[in-house]
Structure 1
Amino acid sequence: MIDLLWHQWSSIGAAGYARPDDKRIIDPEALILATTRFGRHDSRLMDEAVDWLVKFGNRISLQRLQGLNKNWPGVADPRVLAAIAEVIGRQVAHRKWRVLVDESVEASEPEGFFIGKDGKPISNSMDADPTFSKHGLMRGALDLRGMSQAPDPQNRQNLIFTLRALLGVNARAEIMAWLLTHESGHPAAIARSTGYFSKSIQQILNEMAESGQVASIRIGREKHFSVPRRESWQELLCPATEDAAGFPVWVDWMPLFSVVTHFAETIGKPGLDDTSEHFQAAKLRDALYDCTAALAQAGRVHAMQAKPGLRGASLVNALLADLEKLLD
Structure 2
Amino acid sequence: MAWIYDRGVIDGCFDKWIRLGWAGTGEPFEGFVDPELLIIETTHAGRYEGRILKAMLTWVRNFHDLINVQRLLHLIDAADTAVLGAVIDIAIQNGADPRLKTVLKYCKPNDTAEVLFKNGDEFGVYDKNQKEFARDEYLKWGLYCTMVEFYDDAMLDKKRVLKMNPLLAIRALIGPNIRSEILFALLNSARIHIKELSRQLGYAYSPVYKEIMSMASSGFISIEKFGRVNVLSLSKGFARYLSCLPV
- TM-score band by shorter chain is 0.7 to 0.9
Query: How has the CA–CA distance of structure 1 residues 228 and 117 changed in structure 2, closer, same or farther, with 3 Å as cutoff?
Result: farther
- Answer yes or no: is 1:159 the counterpart of 2:166: yes
| Residue identity opposite 2:161 in structure 1 | D
Pick from 87, 92, 95: which aligns with 2:90?
A: 87
Query: How has the CA–CA distance of structure 1 residues 209 and 152 changed in structure 2, closer, same or farther, with 3 Å as cutoff?
Result: same
Q: Which residue of 1 aligns with 2:142?
A: 136
Pick from 118, 126, 135: which aligns with 1:115?
A: 118
Query: How has the CA–CA distance of structure 1 residues 133 and 93 changed in structure 2, closer, same or farther, with 3 Å as cutoff?
Result: closer
Pick from 97, 105, 108: which aligns with 1:105?
A: 108
- Answer yes or no: is 1:40 the counterpart of 2:40: no
| Residue identity opposite 1:152 in structure 2 | V
Q: Secondary structure at the match of 1:125?
A: helix
Residue pairs, 1:170-209, within 5 angstroms: 170-209=177-216
Identity %: 26
| Residue identity opposite 2:34 in structure 1 | D
Q: How many Å separate the matches in 1 of 2:21 and 2:173?
A: 18
Q: Which residue of 1 aligns with 2:219?
A: 212
In the TM superposition, residue 237 of structure 1 has moved relative to its aligned partner by 3.8
| Residue identity opposite 2:102 in structure 1 | V
| Residue identity opposite 1:154 in structure 2 | K
In the TM superposition, residue 20 of structure 1 has moved relative to its aligned partner by 5.2
Q: Secondary structure at the match of 1:123?
A: helix
Give me the CA root mean square deviation: 2.6
In the TM superposition, residue 219 of structure 1 has moved relative to its aligned partner by 3.6
- Answer yes or no: is 1:65 the counterpart of 2:69: no
Q: Which residue of 2 aligns with 1:11?
A: 19
Residue pairs, 1:216-231, within 5 angstroms: 216-229=223-236
In the TM superposition, residue 179 of structure 1 has moved relative to its aligned partner by 0.6
Query: How has the CA–CA distance of structure 1 residues 36 and 20 changed in structure 2, closer, same or farther, with 3 Å as cutoff?
Result: closer
TM-score with structure 1 length normalisation? 0.63
| Residue identity opposite 1:131 in structure 2 | E
In the TM superposition, residue 31 of structure 1 has moved relative to its aligned partner by 0.9
Q: Secondary structure at the match of 2:22?
A: coil
Query: How has the CA–CA distance of structure 1 residues 170 and 18 changed in structure 2, closer, same or farther, with 3 Å as cutoff?
Result: farther
In the TM superposition, residue 233 of structure 1 has moved relative to its aligned partner by 4.8
Q: How many Å separate the matches in 1 of 2:145 and 2:110?
A: 15
- Answer yes or no: is 1:145 the counterpart of 2:154: no
TM-score with structure 2 length normalisation? 0.83
Q: Which residue of 1 aligns with 2:4?
A: none
Q: How many Å separate the matches in 2 of 1:50 and 1:89?
A: 10
Structure 1 residues not aligned, in runs of 5+: 240-328
Q: How many Å separate the matches in 2 of 1:128 and 1:78?
A: 18
Query: How has the CA–CA distance of structure 1 residues 221 and 123 changed in structure 2, closer, same or farther, with 3 Å as cutoff?
Result: farther
Residue pairs, 1:281-320, within 5 angstroms: none
Q: Tell me which structure has the larger Cα radius of gyration.
A: 1
Q: How many Å separate the matches in 2 of 1:233 and 1:20?
A: 26
Q: How many Å separate the matches in 2 of 1:29 and 1:15?
A: 19
Query: How has the CA–CA distance of structure 1 residues 231 and 59 changed in structure 2, closer, same or farther, with 3 Å as cutoff?
Result: closer
| Residue identity opposite 2:39 in structure 1 | I
In the TM superposition, residue 235 of structure 1 has moved relative to its aligned partner by 4.6
Count of aligned pairs: 230
